[in-house]
Amino acid sequence: MEKLISALLEFYIPLIVAVVYKLFYKPPDRTSRDLSKLVLYFFLPILLFNSVSGKNLLDLAGTFIIMIAASALTITVSLVSALILFKGDLEIVLPSFYVNAAYLPLPIAMSLWGEASIHLIGFYVLFNATTGNLLAPFLLGRDIKEGVKRIVRYPPLYGITLGFLCSLMGFRLPPYLAEPLYTTGSLAPPLALVVIGLQTEKTGNLLDGSVMKLSVIRFFISPLATYLALPFIVSPESLAFKVALLESFMPPAVTNVILANEFLEKSDRIVRIVLETTIISTLFIPAFLLLMK
C-alpha cells in the first residue's frame, strides 16, 4: 500500500505543482514549449540511453520485439476503430493512435517497477512515434515525405540507437560519467509531468462527441485489445506485459498539437481534444495502479 501511495504522489505532485504555478503566476506559453524541448532533446534521450546501454543484447532484442509488437497492436486497433467511429475524419484519426507514450507512463513505471521498465517504454515510444510522425502529414493533408524528415529529427531515436551500439560493443561508461548521466536522465519523468501541467487550459464540454469517442478508443478498446491479445506472445506476469498495458491506455501525445499547428490552418479542435483526453486519463491512473498492485 505504501508503494501504491508513493506512486500516486510521484505522479500527482509535479502535475499539481505545475497547474498551481500556471494558475497563480500565468507563465507565457513559451515556458512549457521550452521545457518540453529540454525534455525531448536532452533529458529523455539521456534517460533512454542509460536504460539500454550496458544491458545484455539478447535480452534487449527479445524485449524490443515484444514492445514493437505491443505498439503495433494498439496502433492497428486504435487506427481501425477511429476510421470506423469518425467515419473518415482523418484529422481526428491521428490522436487516436499517436499517444503520450513517454511523458505520462515514465514516472508511473519508474515508481512501480524502477529502472528495469525504462528501456521497455523507450522501445514502445520508438515505434509509436515513428508511425505517428510518418502518417501525420498524410492524415493532415500533406506529403508523407514530411514525416520522414520529422523522424530524422527525433532525438530519442538517437538515444536508444547509441545505447544499443554500446551494448553491442560491450562498452560501459566509467562511473564518473555514468553517474552524472543517470542523475541528468532521471529528471525526465518529473519534468514531463510539469510540462503537462503547464499545458492545461480551461476546457469545454468533456462530454463532447469527439472527446468521448476518442476516450472510448484510448481507455477501453486499446487496453482491452492489449489485455486479450498480448498474452499470446508474452506472459501476463512479465514486466513487458505490464508496461505494454500501461502504454495501451495513454491519452494522445501533445505532439499531435505541434503537428496540427504545422500542417493545418486551424488546430483548435485537436488542441482541445488532446487536453481534454489528457485530463480524463488522469482519472484512470489510480485505477491502473490499483490493478497493478
pLDDT at residue number 169: 87
pLDDT at residue number 205: 53
pLDDT at residue number 218: 94
Q: Which of 197, 249, 204, 199 is nearest to 226 (CA)?
A: 249
Whether residue 226 contacts residue 232, with contact meaning beta carbons closer than 8 Å, is answered with no
Please tell me the distance from the alpha carbon of residue 53 to that of residue 266, in angstroms, as a whole number: 42
pLDDT at residue number 226: 95
pLDDT at residue number 150: 72
Whether residue 113 contacts residue 246, with contact meaning beta carbons closer than 8 Å, is answered with no
Distances (CA, A) of 71 to 29, 127, 132, 253: 31, 7, 11, 14
Tens of each residue's pLDDT in the chain, 293 residues: 666 677 677 778 888 898 899 889 889 878 887 888 888 889 989 988 988 887 888 888 899 999 999 999 999 999 999 999 988 788 889 899 999 888 788 888 888 888 889 999 999 998 998 898 888 877 876 666 766 777 787 788 889 889 989 988 888 889 899 999 989 988 888 887 888 788 766 555 555 788 899 999 999 999 999 999 999 999 999 999 999 999 998 989 877 876 776 677 666 778 788 878 888 887 777 777 777 66
Grid cell listed for 223: 487496453
Please tell me the distance from the alpha carbon of residue 60 to that of residue 57, in angstroms, as a whole number: 5
CATH number, position 165: 1.20.1530.20
| Domain span holding position 224 | 2-292
Grid cell listed for 160: 536508444
pLDDT at residue number 51: 87
Please tell me the distance from the alpha carbon of residue 244 to that of residue 235, in angstroms, as a whole number: 12
Q: Which of 49, 45, 39 is nearest to 190 (CA)?
A: 39
pTM across the whole model: 0.82
DSSP label at residue 55: S
Domain count, the chain: 1
